[in-house]
Amino acid sequence: MSEGLITALRSIVGSSNVFVEAADCAAYEEDWRGRYKGRALCVVRPGSTAEVSAVVTACVAARVAMVPQGGNTGLVGGSVPHENGDEVVISLVRLNRVRAVDPDNNTITVEAGCTLADVQTAAAGRGRLFPLSLASEGTCRIGGNLASNAGGVQVLRYGNARELTLGLEVVLPDGRIWDGLRGLRKDNTGYDLKQLFIGSEGTLGIITAAVLKLFAPQVARVVAWVALPDAESAIVLLGHLRQRLGERISAFEIVCAAAYELVLKHFPEARPPLAEAAPWYALIELADSDAAADLNPVLEDVLGEAFEQGLVSDATLAVNETQAKALWQLRESISDAQKKEGISIKHDVSVPVSRIPEFLQRADAALNAAFPGVRIVAFGHAGDGNLHYNPSMPEGDANSAFIDRTPEVNRLVHDIVASLGGSISAEHGLGQLKREEIKRYKSSIELEMMRRIKQAFDPDGVMNPGKLID
């Protein structure tokens, strides 16, 4: 049967876009961290929505499961096939066209295989901003961003992928095409179907195109790197900034000392922006669409007041774009620095902003009590309550033993998150990594509703099985 299916797929997309050899499939079968590695029956790369539909129809007829894949930059194994070798990976990299830009409606219509950077560039070319911004924006694809409801560094001002999407085009698990590409901000005609697919991790269908919101470009901005005595000071400072500056705050990131030190260790070109080290840092960005806006004195005033209150011990403001990029690079290099350092247990959690300090205090205390000598790398998007909380041991042998106890570590961290009304997956999704873990934290009625939705859309379980929900 597999040979017949492969022949059918080649007739749809062309032989050069169906990979069956191990060497050709390898890059599509492993996630970028090397944590998940599977084996595909084949990899097929359709070049249009019609071809995606035909590929899905052929797979359904052959009773073969499918794994949709964008840039394969996810962190939870959601776009990687299982090891049994009987799933078809459907790569959307060839669906990479910008279909339309409507500056008057402030929308852009793009195909799922466009990289996030390409969408940003296309918007900028028409004098607009697409604000979704991730460290992987040069390689991640917009379909994957939507399927995982990506967040990034500007959620504080613009919202995550869900808030940035007006319409979708989706190939359903039976091969039919739903055309919901409407650029409407008001459409009160029943269920908002697009929201079912955003964050569904490819388990309900394959997103092939989207209508996304655009905004006025940020032509004036100021970026600051701020030293803080503790996490509590960061949240108080954020409150002051919000009260004084409102929507001009486009990012408020916090970074613990351990994360900052790893960047300096593994990236020699990185330069400390401040003379003295601190327990915590904040990266703050203000932006305005008015080119005449002078944001520097405004931020200086707020930081000066914070200094007098003991909330800030030192700060530097970028004086040009080069310095601004260097400050952002410190924040964006943390994940790569961790990868160079070795394996850590990664947590992508969210709690109410006001409870971030409590989470950090309780989680740090619990881990240090259970695992003396643990090193905790904590950083993230404090403005929206999303923290990346990654413990490890500094020494290799000790760290191997620590990683072996991942379920215990997860239970400690996730139970604290749940007790604070938080989520164990803020922006990375569930994938394979947290598919079982989520059962402890979602109510039985939530899980039942999710399973009913999955059954309604994909009764045969052929669309990305074994991910997100059983």
Q: Which tens digits make up the pLDDT trace of 196-220?
A: 999 999 999 999 999 999 999 999 9
For range 321-334, the mean pLDDT = 95
pTM: 0.92
Looking at the DSSP assignment, which residues form a beta bridge with residue 296?
A: none
For range 414-433, the mean pLDDT = 95
Instruction: Enumerate domains of the chain plus CATH numbers.
Output: 2-91 (3.30.43.10), 98-213 (3.30.465.10), 220-335 (3.30.70.2190), 342-427 (3.30.70.2740)
Q: Spell out the SS3 assignment of 401-444.
A: HHHCCHHHHHHHHHHHHHHCCCECECCCCCCCCCCCHHHHCCCH
Categorize the per-residue pLDDT at 458 as very low, low, confident or very high, splitting at 50, 70 and 90: very high
For range 263-281, the mean pLDDT = 96
Question: What DSSP character marks residue 37?
Answer: B
**C-alpha R_g of the chain:** 23
Give the separation between CA 157 and CA 152, rounded to whole angstroms: 11
For range 362-371, the mean pLDDT = 98
Mean pLDDT over the full length of the chain: 95
Q: Which tens digits make up the pLDDT trace of 76-123?
A: 999 999 999 999 999 999 999 999 999 999 999 999 999 999 999 999
For range 309-336, the mean pLDDT = 95
Handedness of CA 234, 240, 244, 246 (dihedral sign): positive
Q: Which tens digits make up the pLDDT trace of 154-175?
A: 888 999 999 999 999 999 999 9
pLDDT at 470 over 90: no
Scan for tokens 């990034």, then name that residue: 152
Tokens of 271: 């330069």
pLDDT at 225 over 70: yes
Q: Any idea which of 180-184, 287-291, 442-446 has the lowest mean pLDDT?
A: 287-291
Task: Yes or no: say if 42 and 51 are a contact pair by the CB < 8 Å rule.
Answer: no
- Which pLDDT does position 1 carry in this prediction? 54
Burial class (CB in 10 A: 0-12, 13-18, 19+), 408: middle
- Which pLDDT does position 53 carry in this prediction? 98
pLDDT at 395 over 90: no
- Which pLDDT does position 152 carry in this prediction? 82
For range 184-194, the mean pLDDT = 96
- Which pLDDT does position 396 carry in this prediction? 83
Cα separation values, 246 from 156, 160, 286, 356, 451, Å: 11, 18, 10, 21, 40
Give the separation between CA 5 and CA 331, rounded to whole angstroms: 46
